[in-house]
Every structure is written in structure tokens, then in C-alpha cells.
Structure 1
Amino acid sequence: MRVFLSYHEDEKGDECAQVLREELAILGIDATMAKHSIKPGASWAQAIRDHLANSSALVCIASQGYTESPWCQQEIGWAIGRGIPALWVRYDSKEHSAGFLMDKQELIVTDPSSQAEIAREIGTWLATQEKTREEARATFIRALADSSTYRQTRDIVYVLATLDSLTDDEWQQIDDAAATNRQVRDAHPYSDRNNGLSNIPVTDWLRRQLNKSANNT
């Protein structure tokens, strides 16, 4: 799954985008940064349009100065005009969404240093949008099957735990991943001292979380 990162190209914006790109990759998401994707000599404007057209969603990294960037505003307009889902991620309290994004809920960053958490929230957003829902869920489960670290497994499972439910086929894929990949089978949840679940397999934790959500509903 590919998303386009729209960001203000100064030191802060580039740093936020680069770290977020790495965190999204853990979830199996290919996040495009135009600055790092456009070949020398290529038309900048056309390359951006091509990357946007090949992306399933637009993520606006609203660090200081973002709304003043004409390039960022054009990226938003191009995406919205073609029905590409867009999410405003507010890194700076003075940066507020405008135009057609004003009626959409922003993702407000309370701790800019916690980019892993921000990536997981973006993952949840992708998995709940009508146009990206199926692709996102398939992306996360494929990434889980190929997980190379316990941390990657946990991050993916924590996104899956925010969903309403999983299908029987999705559960089968998760069980198959646990059977064949020790990074999935032997992973445990992040410390959960309140209910003592930190020592169970993370896949069992996922079942309990989704069952709890279903019961509450």
C-alpha cells in the first residue's frame, strides 16, 4: 500500500516526514516523499502528480509553515479533486486544515517524538476509510506474516486491535503467520500491568481485545 507524504520542505518538515516514513514502513506501508523519489532531470510537477495518482491516500504533515507552502496546498487540492482520502496530521498547534479538509477530523500530535504511535494512528485511519479499508487490512496482515522483529509484530497487531473485527479468513492468515514465523508466534504485548496480559502471545492478546470490543458493542 502506498501513501503520499505532503510536507513543508524545511529541516523540521523533512525530519518529521523521514521518521514517519520509516515507522509506516514497519506496518507495510510504502510512504512516498517527493524529494527522495524524483529522479534528476525529471519534471517536478509531473512527478508529484504521478506519485499522487499512484497513492491510495495523502498524509499532510502539518509542521510549522505547512499551510504557507503553495506546493503543499496544490498537493491537497489535486488529491481532494480526485477523491483521494486525505488526513491532516497537526504537528504544530498553529497549523489548521483549510478548504475541503476543514470538515475532516484532524490527527492532533501531542508528542512529536512518538512517531511510532502516530504511524499506528495513521494505520488505523487507513483501515477505517471506505476507499482504503480493504487494502490497508490486507497490507497489515501481509506485513505481519513477513515480520522480522517482535516490535514490528506488536505495532501491526496494535493497529489490528483498533478495528471492529476481523474476518475468518483474516484470522486464518494470522494463525498461519504465527505457525510459520517465530517473530509472530513468540511476540508478547507491550507491558500491560493493569490487567496482567503482558506475558501471553500477542495474537491471543489481539483476540481478547477484539472480543472485548465486540462485547462492549
Structure 2
Amino acid sequence: MSRITPRLYGLLGSQVPAMALSASLRINIIKEVANRLESEDWPLIDLTLEQFGLPTSPTWSGSIHAYLIEHVSKGNDAQLTEIAEHVGYVVEQPGASVVTDPEYWEPEHFRVFLSHLSVHKAFTAELQSELLRYGITSFVAHNDIEPTLEWQVEIERALRTCDSLVALLHEGFHASYWTDQEVGYVMGRGQPVFAVRLGQDPYGFIGKFQGFNGHGKQVSEIARELFDTYRLNKQTQTHMAGAIVRMFERSNSFANAKYYVGLLEDLGYWEPNFSIRIKKAAEENGQIESSWGVPERVNALVDKWGGT
């Protein structure tokens, strides 16, 4: 399998060079690789580990996340560097002591690249705002890149580190060289791509991905449909569920607590530690504890899913 990282706009990057990793950097890479692969099915996880020369086990009684931590940690520095590049966790400069993520991603949120035409940047910015309500941070090139930064480099960084891409198919989308390149890049990384029909139908490779009809819908409706897809899609449901649990834990108002417990109730995926975490949050976060009806709904979730 080729381990040459795909490059945006028709360029090819060089193979990841071997480099000495500090203990801190190894920990960061191991943790991030586990976070980004845990939503995959077992066969694909083992295939990925094997392709990078990492060990696998025929049986395992713990969580997928624990499995990945255990087996990825056995890798040498070169293997860790390569698999980090594969999942989009980028070491900006060989020999750097830290791995950096772009500042425009909200920490511990699900990351979505919004591929759009510049003439529709206001619509895209509104969708970006609505998605935040669901634990989804999104990248809008015309709003998130500082004028002093190199445009192409920053777009490429966002494409390397996103968890998914949504193509906003306004009329003329296919005529844009940039949007097709963005879609192709994320497809090449194996990350999920979705399309919203807003005047143009899906075409080419985009046509085989799930599409949504955006005609006549409020932006808030489109945001909810995307969240519903991410919470149910096998490739994204683990990461999406984790983001909602974290949002609930950090509820800073009674209204937030009620809103996020509602999203928890909608999840189609659950890990045993989620029950422990939301129970603890209901006991220690005053906004959750004192929000009418929320502690009872937390208990109902724990009873439903178990895990304590």
C-alpha cells in the first residue's frame, strides 16, 4: 500500500521521514490515532494496523479505544509518524516536539470541512454556527483563514485534519476547480463525504455518497440532518457520540443541560464509560444537577445502556 500522503491541487507529498519522537509526542500520537480510528469496524482497524507493521490480536475483551492504545503503542517512531499522517494528525515539521492542530477547530468536537462556493459564504457561515450546537466544529475557508496566512496551505491543513467533508452543492459547484479538489482529497483519506443539494445534483464520485435535499429548508434543519447522519453512520458514530458526551459534561446552564441530555437520548451508539461520565457529571456539575428533570433522564440513560 502506498504511504505517500495525498496532496491538494494535484501535488504529491513525500513520504514521512523517520524522526526521533519525544515521549510526549508519542503519547499525543497514540492518543490521537486511537481517537480517529475507533469509529472503524474491527476488520478495517486490524487491516490498518497490519499495513503499518503494528501488532493485532485475534481476541479482545475491552473497548476498541483500549485495543488501539495497546497496539499502536507498540510501534516504533517511524511507524507512529506514518500512521499519524494516515489519520490526518500532522507533525508540522520533522523533529518538532509537538503535533499541532489548526486553531479554528473547536477542541474535542467532531470536525467537518464545509466545501462551498465563495459567493455562498454567508449561508455556509450560518450552517457553521448551527452545527456547533451539535458538537460539530466546521471549517469555512473564507471565514476561518487569516488574511496573512498562506491560503492554500491552510486549506490543506484543514483537509488533512477534518473528520468528514460536506459538499454544499449550489449551482456552479462542479465548475469550481477548488471544490472538486477538496472533495477528492478527503475521499483519498478515506473519510466520509456527504452532499447537500442546493441547486446542483451530486455528480461523478460525489454521486455515490449520501446526499441531502437542502431545497426549501432552514439552515437549522440541514444542520440537524447532518448530525443525525453522523450519530448513526458506523464510521462516525463513535466520535460523534464522544463529542456529545463532552458537551453535556460541560453544560454551563440549565438550558444547555436539557438540550444536551436530549441529544444523548438520540444517540445510537454508547460506550460503557459514557454511563459513568454522565452520572458523574449529574452529581458534580451544578447546572446539570439542578436542571429540572435532567438527573432523572441521566438515570434512565444509565439504566438503558448500562455500564456503571
TM-score, length-scaled by structure 1? 0.74
Closer/same/farther in 2, CA of residues 4 and 180 from structure 1, 3 Å limit:
same
Q: CA deviation at 1:80?
A: 0.9
Closer/same/farther in 2, CA of residues 104 and 207 from structure 1, 3 Å limit:
farther
- Alignment partner, residue 117 of structure 2: 8
Paired amino acid for 1:74: Q
Select the structure of larger CA radius of gyration: 2
Q: CA deviation at 1:155?
A: 4.4
Q: Aligned runs of 1:55-94 on 2, under 5 Å?
A: 55-90=162-197, 92=198, 94=199
| Structure 1 stretches lacking a partner, 5+ long | 189-199
2:126/2:219 contact within 8 Å kept: no
Paired amino acid for 2:210: Q
Partner SS for 2:115: strand
Whole-Å Cα distance in 2 between the matches of residues 119 and 202 of structure 1?
Answer: 27
Paired amino acid for 2:142: K
Q: CA deviation at 1:165?
A: 4.6
Matched, 1:171 2:296: no
Matched, 1:39 2:132: no
Partner SS for 2:146: coil
Partner SS for 1:45: helix
- Identity of matched residues, %: 25
Matched, 1:48 2:155: yes
Matched, 1:136 2:240: yes
Matched, 1:97 2:202: yes
CA RMSD of aligned residues (A): 2.9
Whole-Å Cα distance in 1 between the matches of residues 174 and 156 of structure 2?
Answer: 19
Greater relative contact order: 1 or 2 (C-alpha under 8 angstroms, separation 6 or more)?
1
Q: CA deviation at 1:88?
A: 0.9
Matched, 1:109 2:218: no
1:154/1:202 contact within 8 Å kept: no
Q: CA deviation at 1:81?
A: 1.7
TM-score, length-scaled by structure 2? 0.55
Corresponding pairs, count? 195
Closer/same/farther in 2, CA of residues 206 and 35 from structure 1, 3 Å limit:
farther
